[in-house]
Amino acid sequence: MKFEGSYVALVTPFARDGSIDEPALRRLVRRQLRAGTAGLVPCGSTGEAATLSHDEFRRVVTLVLEESRGLLPVMAGVGTNSTAKAVELAREAESLGADALLVLAPYYNKPTQEGLYRHFRAVAAGTRLPVVVYNIPGRAAVNILPATLLRIARDCPNAAAVKEASGSLDAVSEIVGAAPKGFAVLSGDDSLTLPMLAVGARGVVSVAANLAPRPMAELCAAALAGDFRRARVLHRRLFPLMRALFVETNPIPVKAALDMMGLCAAAPRLPLTPLRREHAACLRGSLAGLGLI
């Protein structure tokens, strides 16, 4: 499995009664299949995995696998602050047919760097699937330092990549310069994708790709081919949308945008709330600027 290009961090659409809107999820996957996206990432932060029941987790992964029909790899999100539960979820995602795992750093517990290392080592040992480490200190309250990540990459044969969302280009440069051959860095911040690609990252797990999948895929392809002039043009086109998608907590804005585009309902699950009215004009303008509405 090749970890490069634009992977989409899929939203989980909900119906009016709060259940998973299965037809909408299938439509979103089909839209990605037509747009040059490199892979599908259900049940991550953007997919509101923290509010999905266990049965819903299974159903979302199953639906994405069914609709993708093996045409795109599916990287299932595994997010929990219990190592034992993370191992169980990893094995379950593997049994469902996932191609890879996006494994979140344990949140709330605030483990030490040694604890982080042992957590990811245990999850990697519990599955045959490639493991992508998810470093997002803004949500997890812990930062996986480059030295710890490199230790994971060297000691765990199936540790394949990191989704790096610490916001540090220095960390990306350090990881790229010292990681084992084949270990990939993926941007976890849409607006930092181009700078990260410039220092050696291989792609992105993208929120914006829910809305503009083809331009995000083209941005990555251009940069990976060394055409940074083209990549900069695409980055500048997408930048207003990238910024607008974080005026409130993700995935509040992206779900509102998908609603504006007629693709799924806007409402996230509590404790997240719908986009505030004062932010709607900015979001709508960024969509209009890309011809998405």
Specify whether 134 is catalytic: yes
What are the boundaries of each domain within the chain? Answer: 5-225
Catalytic-labelled residue, pool 7, 163, 181, 255: 163
Catalytic-labelled residue, pool 7, 117, 134, 255: 134
Query: Is the pTM higher than 0.85?
Result: yes
Domain 5-225 belongs in CATH node 3.20.20.70: yes
CA-to-CA dists, residue 220 to 82, 135, 223, 233, 281, angstroms? 34, 20, 5, 12, 28
Residue 77 CA to chain centroid, in angstroms?
8
Nearest partner of 44 among 3, 83, 84, 89, judged by Cα: 89
Tell me whether residue 160 is exposed, middle or buried, using C-beta atoms within 10 angstroms of its C-beta: 0 to 12, 13 to 18, 19 or more: buried
**Tens-digit pLDDT profile for the chain (293 aa)?**
889 999 999 999 999 999 999 999 999 999 999 999 999 999 999 999 999 999 999 999 999 999 999 999 999 999 899 999 999 999 999 999 999 999 999 999 999 999 999 999 999 999 999 999 999 999 999 999 999 999 999 999 999 999 999 999 999 999 999 999 999 999 999 999 999 999 999 999 999 999 999 999 999 999 999 999 999 999 999 999 999 999 999 999 999 999 999 999 998 999 999 999 999 999 999 999 999 99
